[in-house]
Structure 1
Amino acid sequence: MEIAVGDDSPSEDEFRFHTVGEQLKAARERLSLSLADLAARTRVPMRHLESIEKSDFSALPGSTYTLGFARSYARAVDMDAIKVSADLRSELAQSGHEGYQAPLQNYEPTDPARVPSRTLAWTAAAIGVLVVAGYFVWRSMMLDAAVDITMPSTPIDKAAPAKAVTAVPSGEVATSGAVVLTATDTVWVKVYDADNKRLFEKEMQSGDSYTVPQDANKPMIVTGRPEVLNVTVGGKAVPALGPPDKTVADLEISAKALLSRQPAGTTTP
């Protein structure tokens, strides 16, 4: 008489599940693993694993992430990850969820399949551009406020040595003539008139020049490095606009005003 040996393994019918989630759950339970154990192995949030088991795809962050989570789940319970992924893709398509995309805020930083989308990358780039633009606007506003601060020094370009500026003795020049500003190093300059009309604003480089319109209504200047600006009136040099690395603001630079100034160092604008 043949005695049947007891077998605790489940029958074939018991492994015929309707969804991929049910198959994964059965495999997990065979290994006596809890969802917390599986989350620790896969680094997939436990709520996402539970949603996969229940086929609650609307609670998951999109089909791409769902398939990635399912493959991680399958590998953790010794199932064929490729087959699980293919079966789940078919299940998603049949249930109408293949193309859905849930809000990404449901997704956590520790999710292993997290890959920034192209939209997210472009959004980050746009934010970066806005931050840079905001910085330059702030910098311009601070300079316009004419706060007397020490400007960061810039190495002098040895290839373009500064021209010597000598004061013109009183009585030897006329009270009119073209006012020309020439930069000997990098310097930000803003010129405006008595009506606050902007006549010129630029970060001048060594060798750049600007001629102040002779018909301008009381032209004035703001700059942070007056010592690197050579100023001439009618082709003749006049004293520096101010002491080194000190911001000057609301300083009139008409020919008459410049010729009546004292040599640099006797007054502080």
Structure 2
Amino acid sequence: MAEEPEIETGAVDAQDSQPSTPGARLRAAREARGLSIQDVATRTRIAQRQLEAIEKDDYTALPGIPYAVGFARAYARAVDMDEVAIAAEVRDAVHNSELGANRYEVFEPADPARVPSRALAWTAAAIAIVVIAGFALWRSQLLTPPTTEEIAQQKDAAPTAQQRPANAAPVSPANQPVVFTANDDVWLRIYDEAGERLKDGLMKKGESFTLPANARNPMILTGRPQALDVTVGGKPVPPLGAADRTIADVPVGAEALLSRATPAGQAVSPSAAAPAQRPAAALPSGDGSAAAASRPAAPPAEGAPAN
């Protein structure tokens, strides 16, 4: 009668004593290295309660499948185990659990402890969208030429020659160079009385343009007058218009700009005023003395019809 082979009970007991689940194997590796659960939490930056859930193979206590796999991978790395093998075992186990039946795995972070929160990611995305939209809007307003409606409104608001103050002092013609310098990016058009465009397009910040000396009654059209620094003979003149208000058909010849720059009532040189002087008409009776009647008449206002 054949003898039955003896079974080494010690080998069987050793196999039965080996941890069979990923969580139990991780716990055994931690205890073998004399580490506490808090030590592993410090190394991995994972909450202690979540590490305890990994050790108990309680995957429903974790946020989701990606976190369960990622936490187990980080745990294995902290206790010098094969993180790839542990991650594969946890993935298989979690798919067969209640968590795997109710949730869908979208991604698997390499280290969930370092992944930014969803709220932070959405906040950063919203800020980026607002910044980009604001810059695009500002840029479009900066570089868009003024509309026909804006030009018409500016023409209606521009004072005519008859509306100018009667005491505005005339100035002599000037042949000094007129220079336009952009202190910011600005679109403009400079043209003469025949409609010929002397300058048309975008002037970059710091760019300058000198008006041709032979320009005939040059005028300007722009939506941002404050972005231009204008000089006549090297001397600055007041802004061509209100900030961010479209101006059109505004004369920019040297004489016209100097006329705008001369304060009302300022005295002019005798050579400039002499051609305009002539005897004054007799005043109505009872309105003054004889000395007033002999006083020379004041120079006519610019653009006013002569008697």
TM bin (shorter chain) = 0.3 to 0.5
Between structure 1 and structure 2, the one with the greater Rg is: 2
Q: TM-score, normalised by structure 2?
A: 0.42
